[in-house]
Structure 1
Amino acid sequence: MGYVLGIDGGGSKTVCVLMDNLHQVLGRGEAGSSNYQIISIEATLQSIKSAINNAVEAANITNSLKIDAICLGLAGVGRAADIEVVKGLVEELHNQQSLPIILALQPANIVICNDALIALVGGIGQPVGIVVAAGTGSIVFGRNHQGGTKRVGGWGYILGDEGSAYKIAIAGMNAALKSYDGREISTSLVEAFKQHLGLENIEDLIEVIYRRQWGVKQIAALAPIVDFAAASGDIVANIIIDDAVKELVKATSTVIHAIFSADSVLEVVTTGSVWRGRCKIHERFAASLVKEFPNVSVICPRHEPAYGAGLLALQTTQN
């Protein structure tokens, strides 16, 4: 029986799955952030080690396991320099005596990639298709049968992230203030933001956003206010949601035209908090995309990204 590790490393948490060669998850473990571009290399290594330890402990296997392959899908890993850094982390793992596993890894059995690829593979169950990730940020990533890939977006909250929770929240606050000014039509978003944030006046948004120095995640967490208003029939909120859908459809269409044919039969998996709203944004996106590409199926994730990392690791043992 062969065993592999699939690791999903992000800015908030690290997930590791221990899998056998029958694609069965034997154990799953979580730990803190492993985005080395935000935290230190040492802290990243500790998070990965903790996630591995927790996964093996959850598997309740007493004997030390021989790991034949590993895949690390980490946020922000895309450039050659990033891959070299992660290779160094894998070397450090080899040297760790405290891990309850035996690493017997050859270079061909080490997969280092960005988190979009493992989200695609985990979500669909195979390394072909498109993932549309819309959470705090947004990115669309696709891979075809020939191994060709295309990424659209993922440029961060200042330069991109159209269709993300952050951009929806910003558009919502902007619309509320324009409505308050009298520049736009009235919207329930004015009262919605006031109630949610405990404001006496919508002008107090200045204090919340600027003086409290709210970050991207705090602002993105306000997106459900826009979602709820849209679900309740607010015209302005629905325009914001429709604009987000248009951006995500356009990005997905760009990926399809780049690496697939317009009549390709393929699956598009959606991941991220934006899709879990009440205003049926998933249905709006699917209807719009399928209208343009009738052979496309829009699905929810079948498995988590760490499972996708495990599948990519297993693939190296079967070649």
Structure 2
Amino acid sequence: MSGDSTYDYFGGIEGGATHSKMVLFRSDGKVMAKTEGPSTNQWLVGQEECLKRVSEMVQEAKKIAGLDEKKPIKALGLSMSGADQKEAQQQIIDGMKSKYGEVSESVAVSSDTNGAIATATATGGIVLIAGTGSNCQLVNPDGSTYRCGGWGHLLGDEGGAYWISQRAIKAYFDHEDNLHPQPYDVTFVRDAMLKYFKIEERNGLLQYLYTNFDKSFIAGMCKELAAGAIEKKDRLCQQMFHDAGEILAGHILALEPKIDKKLLEQGLSVVCVGSVWKSWELMKSGFMEVMEKNTSHRIRQLSLCELKESAAVGAASIGATSIGSLLPLDYSENASVFFKTQLGK
């Protein structure tokens, strides 16, 4: 099979620190294929491996769709964690063209936040990512962009799964060292840490934090902490998520002065992406405490939305737009509101 030559084909990839998703569209908006792959964050896996993984995902999607794998699709949009810098974006574009020319005629690269926004709306907004790491970006209707966070685990990632896991681990270590004794029992965090990393005592953790460091693997402990907070009502775990809610709200307020009033008129919508948002009920108290203390009152109404489709959809749209094409998307099907509140009463 070689596909229908009367149509063009557009691909999009949401590339995260842990895993990646690919969607292949026909120019009339029909989804032809979806595939998944491992991390495509170039800072974690290296640029060569990143390009290889992107190529493999697209070629697999072509195969599923019955397209000629040797014939490039019209455009490919890459919405990737760790792809915020123009220079890094251009390197990915150049690498795809020179080494994997059969993948796509055109390649457009943007950050993972851009893909999420483009999935939920055509007019711009705020996206707040809390997955393995964290990032917050504003895209105004005029196309201007501003960001807060997204600087990786050494300079940022506050509110993300790695940050939550690392803070819980450090709270236990500091308690054991009597450096910062905890007001809460550390037993659950200790036991969860030993079980998750399959170690017998805390010294065994050092290899995972240094010699064999894997950010995504460490972030995976966050799921165990969430279970402790919900099922065991563990106070230390609950505090970790409360603090995450506070810092994520802070990301939104950091961008507040830059938000175009057009985005505020109907109430600000924030697209929430990442697995940490599954623990919203644990973060809600901290999040609302910070939002309600805001004194500028520019944000009068706030809605938190979750994507029903992968940010790969928005990435495909960005790829199509980059060559002057319009990919027809039904935005009402792409996102839904899970929390709404009035502020500044």
Distance verdict in 2 for CA 1:313–1:204, change over 3 Å: same
- Which residues in structure 2 correspond to 1:177-256 (within 5 Å)? 177-180=173-176, 181=178, 184-194=181-191, 196-198=193-195, 204-209=201-206, 213=210, 215=213, 216-231=215-230, 232-256=232-256
C-alpha deviation, 1:210, in angstroms: 5.1
- Which residues in structure 2 correspond to 1:299-318 (within 5 Å)? 299-315=305-321, 316-318=324-326
CA contact (8 A) 1:6 1:72 kept: yes
SS at match of 2:84: coil
2:113 aligns to what?
116
Match of 2:276, as an amino acid?
A: V
C-alpha deviation, 1:143, in angstroms: 0.6
How many Å separate the matches in 1 of 2:188 and 2:73? Answer: 56
How many Å separate the matches in 2 of 1:3 and 1:63? Answer: 12
Match of 2:55, as an amino acid?
A: K
CA contact (8 A) 2:116 2:127 kept: yes
Match of 1:226, as an amino acid?
A: L
How many Å separate the matches in 2 of 1:159 and 1:13? Answer: 22
SS at match of 1:300: strand
C-alpha deviation, 1:288, in angstroms: 5.1
How many Å separate the matches in 2 of 1:310 and 1:191? Answer: 43
1:74 aligns to what?
80
Are residue 149 (structure 1) and residue 145 (structure 2) matched? yes
Q: Deviations over 1:187-229 (max 9, x none)?
A: 3432442255149xx9932332358745233332222343233
How many Å separate the matches in 2 of 1:49 and 1:63? Answer: 11
Are residue 59 (structure 1) and residue 65 (structure 2) matched? yes
Aligned pairs, number: 306
Gaps of 5+ in 1: none
Q: Deviations over 1:121-155 (max 9, x none)?
A: 22x24351111111221111121111111110112
Distance verdict in 2 for CA 1:130–1:281, change over 3 Å: farther
Match of 2:260, as an amino acid?
A: F
Are residue 16 (structure 1) and residue 22 (structure 2) matched? yes
SS at match of 2:307: coil
How many Å separate the matches in 2 of 1:298 and 1:288? Answer: 16
1:274 aligns to what?
276
Gaps of 5+ in 2: 1-6, 328-345
Bigger Cα displacement from structure 2, 159-168 vs 74-83 = 74-83
How many Å separate the matches in 2 of 1:239 and 1:282? Answer: 9
CA contact (8 A) 2:132 2:161 kept: yes
C-alpha deviation, 1:294, in angstroms: 3.4
Distance verdict in 2 for CA 1:49–1:219, change over 3 Å: closer
Equivalent residue in structure 1 for 2:54, among 12, 25, 48: 48
How many Å separate the matches in 2 of 1:10 and 1:192? Answer: 27
Give TM-score, length-normalised by structure 1. Answer: 0.81
- Which residues in structure 2 correspond to 1:123-162 (within 5 Å)? 124-126=120-122, 128-162=124-158
Bigger Cα displacement from structure 2, 235-244 vs 189-198 = 189-198
Distance verdict in 2 for CA 1:286–1:297, change over 3 Å: farther
Question: What percent of counterpart residues are identical?
Answer: 22
Match of 1:112, as an amino acid?
A: V
2:336 aligns to what?
none
SS at match of 2:135: strand
C-alpha deviation, 1:272, in angstroms: 1.4
RMSD: 3.3
Distance verdict in 2 for CA 1:209–1:147, change over 3 Å: same
How many Å separate the matches in 2 of 1:149 and 1:254? Answer: 13
Match of 1:75, as an amino acid?
A: S
CA contact (8 A) 2:17 2:132 kept: no
How many Å separate the matches in 1 of 2:135 and 2:23? Answer: 24
Bigger Cα displacement from structure 2, 78-87 vs 189-198 = 189-198
2:4 aligns to what?
none
